[in-house]
Structure 1
Amino acid sequence: MDPTPLTVRYFAGARAAAGRAEERTPAGRSLNDLTADLARRHGDRLAAVLRVASFLVNGVTCHDREAPLPGGATIDVLPPFAGG
């Protein structure tokens, strides 16, 4: 397993809820584990966004939230957008 940290990028309402555009976080876990950790660290507002967000892993929609995320991956957090 690649220990290179993950890059999490927040867009739109996720950026506002997280209070940042991007952060690095340890690798070696699933998307479900990652989102639980992010919700714990950033609070209820981000937790609510994460429950309805879509996620891209290295630009590809993530369908298996239990699969280990590859080290060095970029995770995009995409909340629902108005009108779409």
Structure 2
Amino acid sequence: MSELVTGTVRVRVRYFAGAGAAAKVDEEHVDVAEGSLVSGVLEVVGAQRGPDLARVIAASSVLVDGVQDRERSHPVRDGLTIDVLPPFAGG
């Protein structure tokens, strides 16, 4: 019996404003399993980069290839870009 092997996909995650400060990078590439959702990618980067980033992600808006994903349920594919946009103040 052969084992089903799941491949990986590479996505780009960009951090803006306070998210970049919490992540300590402006962007990074992340490898995740095929079939992952945006929420899964964000869990991975939050776990890797620490609780400060995880808190910022929880309060942030997320864009997937420039389109808002409120539910963070978009399936990821190779080359996809996820933007993490924390709440902004000012005018």
TM-score tier (shorter)? 0.7 to 0.9
Percent identity at matched positions? 42
The CA RMSD over aligned residues, in Å, is: 1.8
More strand by share: 2
Match of 1:16 among 15, 18, 21: 21
Q: Distance in 2 between matches of 1:64 and 1:72?
A: 20
In the alignment of these two chains, the number of paired residues is 83
Q: What is the TM-score with the length of structure 1 in the denominator? A: 0.87
Pick 1 or 2: higher relative contact order, CA cutoff 8 A, min separation 6.
1
Larger Rg over CA atoms: 2
Q: 2:18·2:86 contact (CA, 8 Å) conserved in 1? A: yes
For structure 2, list consecutive stretches of 5 or more residues without a partner in the other structure.
1-6
For structure 1, list consecutive stretches of 5 or more residues without a partner in the other structure.
none
Q: Distance in 2 between matches of 1:4 and 1:33?
A: 12
Letter aligned with residue 26 of structure 1 = D
Letter aligned with residue 23 of structure 2 = A
Shift of 1:4: 4.7
